[in-house]
């Protein structure tokens, strides 16, 4: 018998203004920017689904309609591809529609990440839930969320993912004070900056040493698409020799 209620829901805030990516994000949500040929938000939803969470709540806002369209059927496009017999592309446009049950709520005014999560209160009720950011994901081969859910099942309370960063980057993130727990990758949080103190059951941190991708600003976005392009044999075959030559020519 599990000691704590199972986590089945994921909340994904995607209502931010994306000001670091203007003007691209004036009319397009930054969560829809493609990583090779799939929008960032689909990687995020796939990450939740891979951890067993199939009830997804997207927190959206104005100018975010493309997010809803992406996870919905598109009969006209389906018919066009069917008529051409293009089964491969048909399968690819079905993928996002069949991944999970996706619900939506709106954050009327983008009042910050904490407020976006609060907008999920009605949907999640008193159940435990995972929060993933709409423009930030973990490499599919590095199962962080599964591990966080296991830690939650074992320790209860709240669980956050932690990564070590260089001291010159500290100001960009929330910072924690920790104590060991006896479990190699799990620490107890004793203090946090930039986050309110949590109540009940303690706050635990899973120390993550895998690959995290941020697509919310132009530089990190470029790093992300180059890495994913090089992992895709169909793209890398042409792209890698081109990239090598381009860099050689620069040197």
Nearer residue to ligand UTP within complex by CB, 63 or 236: 63
Q: Give me the residue whose beta carbon is nearest to ligand UTP.
A: 16
45: left (phi over 0), alpha (psi -120 to 50) or beta: alpha
| Contact track, ligand UTP, 43-62, x by CB under 6 A | ----------------x---
Q: Cα–Cα distance between 94 and 148 in angstroms, integer?
A: 29
Binding segment toward ligand UTP, per CB under 6 A, in 8-16, 123-131, 144-152, 188-196: 8-16
Count residues near ligand UTP (CB under 6 A): 21
Q: Cα–Cα distance between 202 and 158 in angstroms, integer?
A: 7
Nearer residue to ligand UTP within complex by CB, 155 or 215: 215
Q: Cα–Cα distance between 96 and 156 in angstroms, integer?
A: 32
Q: Is 18 in the site for ligand UTP (CB under 6 A)?
A: yes
Nearer residue to ligand UTP within complex by CB, 58 or 186: 58
Q: Is 20 in the site for ligand UTP (CB under 6 A)?
A: yes
Q: Is 14 in the site for ligand UTP (CB under 6 A)?
A: yes
Q: Is 10 in the site for ligand UTP (CB under 6 A)?
A: no
* DSSP 3-state of 224: helix
Residue pair 40/135 in contact (Cβ under 8 Å)? The answer is yes
Binding segment toward ligand UTP, per CB under 6 A, in 74-82, 89-97, 107-115, 229-237: 107-115
Pick from 150, 116, 119, 136: which is nearest to 7 by CA?
Answer: 150
Task: Identify the residue whose tokens are 């099942």.
Answer: 153
CB-side neighbour CA atoms (13 Å) of 132 = 33
Residue pair 84/93 in contact (Cβ under 8 Å)? The answer is no
Nearer residue to ligand UTP within complex by CB, 17 or 100: 17
Q: Is 16 in the site for ligand UTP (CB under 6 A)?
A: yes
In the complex, which residues of this chain contact ligand UTP (CB under 6 A)? Answer: 13-20, 31, 59, 107, 110-113, 115-116, 133-135, 216
């Amino acid at each position: 018998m599990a000691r704590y209620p199972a986590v089945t829901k994921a909340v994904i805030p995607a209502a931010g203004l994306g000001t670091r990516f203007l003007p691209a994000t004036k009319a397009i949500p930054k969560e829809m920017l493609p990583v090779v040929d799939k929008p960032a938000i689909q990687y995020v939803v796939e990450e939740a689904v891979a951890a067993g969470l199939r009830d997804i709540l997207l927190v959206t806002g104005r100018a975010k309609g493309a997010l809803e369209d992406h996870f919905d059927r598109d009969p006209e496009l389906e018919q066009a591809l069917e008529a051409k017999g293009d089964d491969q592309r048909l399968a690819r446009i079905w993928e996002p529609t069949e991944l999970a049950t996706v619900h939506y709520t709106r954050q009327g005014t983008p009042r910050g990440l904490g407020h976006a999560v609060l907008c999920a209160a009605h949907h999640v009720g008193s159940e435990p839930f995972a929060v993933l950011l709409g423009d930030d994901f973990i490499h599919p081969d590095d199962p962080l969320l599964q591990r966080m859910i296991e830690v939650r099942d074992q320790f209860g309370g709240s669980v956050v993912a932690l990564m070590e960063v260089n001291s010159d980057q500290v100001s960009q993130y929330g910072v924690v004070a920790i104590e060991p727990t006896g479990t190699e990758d799990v620490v107890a949080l004793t203090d946090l900056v930039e986050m309110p103190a949590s109540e009940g059951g303690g706050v635990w941190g899973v120390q993550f040493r895998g690959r995290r991708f941020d697509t919310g600003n132009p530089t990190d976005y470029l790093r992300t698409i180059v890495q994913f392009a090089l992992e895709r044999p169909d793209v890398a075959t042409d792209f890698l020799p081109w990239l090598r030559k381009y860099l050689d020519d620069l040197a």
